[in-house]
Amino acid sequence: MNTSSLRRLIRWQWILVLVGIACAASPQVVPSAQVLVQRDSAKTDPSGKYVETGELRMSNLFQRDGQHRDVVFRVTVSKGPTGRVLRSYDVVPTSNSMGASASFLMSDGGIATFTIPSQVGASETVLKLSQDKVEMTVMLLPAKGVMTVCYLGKEVFSGGLRFVACGLGHESLFPAPEPFVGFVDAEIVPAKK
């Protein structure tokens, strides 16, 4: 083997090592059928939607250190001005879930990776996008009661939950009061653009 061939071989080995490290560093997109959503059935209607405040647990979605981590969400239920039931899904930070990440297939084919902060009150980046330009949708964020621009997840998880990322700095007409990354009820129909 000559010197030129040896250099090419070494270069390709390093490229493969770097690709392997990059792939291992971010979690893989988990199909919604593999994600387990556990609810308190005493607080839900027959369709699995919460009708009073409670908690739900998602399993097989978030990972930290290569291990699946259960993540608990506080579901806050309130009534809007029109009487419509509004739900918000907020991460309950626990030692098991802090620093855990999940990747989501988005409506435009991109990937969004959401990381739960590793400390309560931390201001670290919690969202990484696979592409610079994303397809945003104007929608009403029910729990916040505002119109905003969001990046929608493609899959609907058990119980009708859809991942969204709102307030990413792409707003002009509908600014979010603060960035929101989490889940909304999937039946919320986005407003027309």
Q: Is residue 36 part of a domain?
A: yes
- Domains contained in the chain, number: 1
Query: Beta strands 146-157 and 137-141: pairing type?
Result: antiparallel
CA separation for the pair 147, 140 (Å, rounded)? 4
Reading the block at residue 9, the tokens are 């071989």
Q: Is residue 33 part of a domain?
A: yes
Report yes or no: 52 and 78 within 8 Å, Cβ to Cβ.
no
Q: Is residue 193 part of a domain?
A: no
Q: How many CB atoms lie within 10 A of CB 152?
A: 23
> Which of 159, 147, 151, 162 lies closest to 41, judged by CA?
159
Q: Is residue 190 part of a domain?
A: no
| pLDDT recorded at residue 69 | 93
For residues 102 and 14, the model is more confident at 102
Q: How many CA atoms lie within 13 A of 4 on its CB side?
A: 0
| pLDDT recorded at residue 169 | 64
Q: Is residue 191 part of a domain?
A: no
Q: Is residue 154 part of a domain?
A: yes
Answer yes or no: is pLDDT of 30 > 50: yes
Q: Tell me: the pLDDT tens digits for 80-125? A: 777 878 888 888 888 888 999 999 999 999 999 999 888 776 666 5
Range of the domain at 165: 3-185
Q: Is residue 118 part of a domain?
A: yes
Q: What DSSP character marks residue 134?
A: -
Q: Is residue 159 part of a domain?
A: yes
